[in-house]
Structure 1
Amino acid sequence: MKSLYAILVTISLFFAGCSSSDENTDSHGPDPEVQTSVTLQLTDANATAETKALYSNLWRIQEKGTMFGHHDDLLYGRNWITVAGRSDIKDVCGDYPGVFSVDFAEIMDDRSMTSTLNSDRIRVIKEARERGEVITACCHLNNPLTGGDSWDNSNNTVAKEILTEGSTTNIKFNSWLDKLAVFANNLKDSNGKVIPVIFRPFHEHTQTWSWWGSSAITQQEFISLWKYTIDYLKNKKQVHSFIYAISPQLDGQGTVENFLFRWPGDDYVDFLGWDSYHGTNTAAFSTNLRNLASLSQQKLKPCGVTETGVEGIVKSGAPYDTYWTNEISIPLTGKKVSMVVMWRNKYDPSHEGSHFYAPFEGHSSAANFKLLYASPNMIFSKKLPDMYTMAANTTVK
């Protein structure tokens, strides 16, 4: 029965990807092999050649499928931590994710002197780049005013203090950006080229949980903070390897306008990210994917699901062993979305908790994940094109 089920699911995925009548398929778009010329614009006109090349490929890969990613996948997994070459995803399917997501906060803030993982963060980023994978980074920064963590939204003057030149908070925040700049400009591949990163500061700004969130700072403060950060990095600190991604969180079914919440302007955003913790509300996920892809085409900016998943991979409290085909592969088929990134698998070798969002060796959804891996629209490391050479018929300014 299991083999019959696998055959049926594979057939359904094939027809989902090929049928022009399926609602997930853009039947009016060009053939993926026929590329029309396009000119894209980066926030940083002085971006490195490799950064521009990556940007061109983030746009073009949307015509071919969706890269699969996993946060901290190379740094630790459910049963291991800082093991060279290890990956929960690779353990399951024999291949690395196409996108490696990492957190830069401990490189930047007051934890930078005590973090035990920073050297390994550098190592695994370089390993991912050597395989040709894409690196993206979020930033759960501590609160520079109160000394609390990212979730400390108790003071509504943090952004104001950061933006007040010469204030204690401004000086501290700038020192954090200084450390990030040193890190970014020294993060080089085996050829001595600076490694491009899709950097998404102040993520999930639509939510109330963070000190930069919707309950703690005003719309204008958020926009000013966003612009201040980008200008400081690219103009003052000469960081030219970042692709700047905004990533609102939207869980329920929304509209295109939901992705433009506190929009800082087309000149300050390169990549349209989206954090989605919709659970198993597949209809909402599919609608929001269509809206995200539509906005991407309107603004000529690549897009992607920068965080998603169900903690513990369950449905109604029970293991959801067909999650990967039902909730990820099929909804993404035919959508022009460059990536889908699952949140992390916490290191928990005793399995006391269920804080994991991707399969690991021995997990009950592993067989279904292999079907996702085999689906033609999902792109893992081995199927990646050369992401760091300029894509054909694509100009990036």
Structure 2
Amino acid sequence: MRIIGMLLLGAFFTYSCTSPVQKTVDKKATWETLSLYTNLVKIQGKSILFGHQDDTSYGIGWTGESGQSDVKKVTGDYPAVYGWDLGHIETGCPQNIDNVPFEQMRSHIIEAYERGGVNTLSWHVQNPFTGGSSWDVSSKEVVKSILPDGEKHALFLEWLDHVAAFIASLKTGNGTAVPVLFRPYHEHTGNWFWWGRELCEKDDYLALWHFTVTYLRDKKDLHNILYVYSPDFVTGEQEYFDRYPGDEFVDILGLDLYHRGAEDSAGKFISDVNKIMEFLSRYAAAHKKAFVFSETGLEQIPMNKWFTEVLYKAVAPYKPAYVLLWRNAYDRPEHFFVPYPAHPATDDFIKFKNLPDILFGNDLPNLYK
């Protein structure tokens, strides 16, 4: 079945990927960026790319070792999607919020692209108003303060310049700008980040998103970015789109939703994901957008068959373009979301990997042509 599925997918891409056809937020988007977006739109509903946060930077029992990957150790293959976080880059720090050196991250992003993979960037940006972390929710003035005419606007411009410089530096040896999916101000439907729903006015959140896109695209002249909007749990379509920046400022519809509580809550998790993916797939089709499961997982994976009996059942009905699981921390033994060798869920993870509509690194067609 898997071989037949891959042959059909390969034929589909050989026929359809001669030129990008999708329109993106950026009318000047590079060929590779347009091609990636076109192919993500085409692949959704048919197959799902598997992704993992910080996959080649560290894992259980290791960090900073070239060629390493917990996913590869277990399955023999790299993921198709690689997640990275820019938190702390705004202050000029040489390493990110999880102690990944940005120089190393740059190398890993380029390597992932050259393997044919997809790179997505989140940004756990510090609180520019208080000096605290992303999780400092002590003030409701933060977003307003960084908008034009706000008291922290100049500082925030400096922070955006650091983000822009890093993204601009993502180039291959021949000068090709590596496409990235940028996912800022995520999970805003919750209230654990300073940009959360109850911590800023709707108009201010929208203004921040619009300003960020316009600044990076038009002022900093970056044309290798696709912009991802990713709320956390919502009860329905109206709530999901309540603070939607608009089709002209969003390329990809995302969802961040974790499975919490193991077996007792598995059915609810599957049902919630199905419900949200239904209207995301419908909206994406009508508006020619991509939709993804931008962040998920079950910490420590206490269910040995979680991948085939929970995650797959959650994503299979609508098949988002990719699903990305969170990281395997090297310095927090309890904080991991992908099996490592000898973990009880390894067999099920391999079975999940071998499903005909789940794609890892070696399964990828050329997404950039």
Q: Give the TM-score of the pair, scaled to structure 1.
A: 0.83
Q: Which residue of 2 aligns with 1:71?
A: 53
Q: Which residue of 1 aligns with 2:293?
A: 305
Taking the aligned partners of 2:338 and 2:172, their CA distance within structure 1 comes to 28
1:86 pairs with 2:68: yes
The equivalent residue for 1:25 is none
Structure 1 residue 35: Cα displacement: 6.6
**4+ residue stretches of structure 1 with deviation over 6 A?**
31-38
Structure 1 position 130, deviation (Å) = 1.1
Q: Distance in 1 between matches of 2:252 and 2:364?
A: 19
Equivalent residue letter for 2:197: S
Matched residues in 1 for 2:20 and 2:320: separation? 17
Q: Contact (CA 8 Å) 2:187, 2:230: kept in 1 or not?
A: yes
Question: How many Å apart are 1:277 and its aligned residue?
Answer: 1.4
How many Å apart are 1:189 and its aligned residue? 1.6
Aligned to 1:363: 343
Is the Cα contact below 8 Å between 2:125 and 2:134 reproduced in 1? yes
1:108 matches 2:96:
no
1:379 aligns with 2:359: yes
Q: Secondary structure at the match of 1:372?
A: helix
1:126 to 72, 92, 110: 110
Query: TM-score by structure 2 length?
Result: 0.89
TM-superposition CA deviations, 1:195-243 (whole Å, max 9, x none): 0000010000111011111121110000000001111111111111100
1:113 deviates by 7.3
Q: 2-side partners of 1:221 and 1:62: how far apart?
A: 32
- Deviation track 1:258-286 (CA, whole Å, cap 9, x = no partner) reads 32130111100000011011432222222
Q: Is the 1:329–1:375 contact (alpha carbons within 8 Å) kept by the matching residues of 2?
A: no
- Which residue number in structure 2 is paired with residue 343 of structure 1? 326
Instruction: Return the match for 2:131 from 136, 147, 166.
Output: 147
User: Following the alignment from structure 2 to structure 1, what is the Cα–Cα distance between the partners of residues 244 and 95?
Assistant: 34
Per the alignment, residue 282 of structure 1 pairs with 270
CA radius of gyration, larger in? 1
> Which letter maps to 1:170?
H
1:60 aligns with 2:23: no
**Residue-pair matches, total:** 352
Deviation sequence 1:110-138 (CA, Å, 0-9, x none): 53478662111111111101101000010
SS where residue 152 of structure 1 aligns? coil
Identical-residue share of aligned pairs (%):
36
Corresponding residue for 1:204? Answer: 187
- Report if aligned partners of 2:60, 2:333 keep a CA contact under 8 Å in 1: no
One-letter code of the match for 1:134?
Answer: V
CA contact (8 A) 1:92 1:370 kept: yes
Work out whether residues 278 and 284 of structure 1, in 8 Å CA contact, stay in contact via their aligned partners in 2: no
- Conservation of the 8 A alpha-carbon contact between 2:49 and 2:358: yes
Query: What SS does the aligned partner of 1:64 have?
Result: coil
Paired residues of 2:95 and 2:101 also in contact (CA < 8 A): no
Inter-partner Cα distance in structure 2 for 1:278 and 1:347: 21
Kept in 1: contact 2:57–2:100 (CA 8 A)? no
The answer to whether the 8 Å contact 1:65/1:334 transfers is no
Task: Measure the CA separation in 2 of the matches of 1:282 and 1:182.
Answer: 40
Q: Judging changes above 3 Å, is the alpha-carbon distance between structure 1 residues 92 and 178 closer, same or farther for their aligned structure 2 residues?
A: same
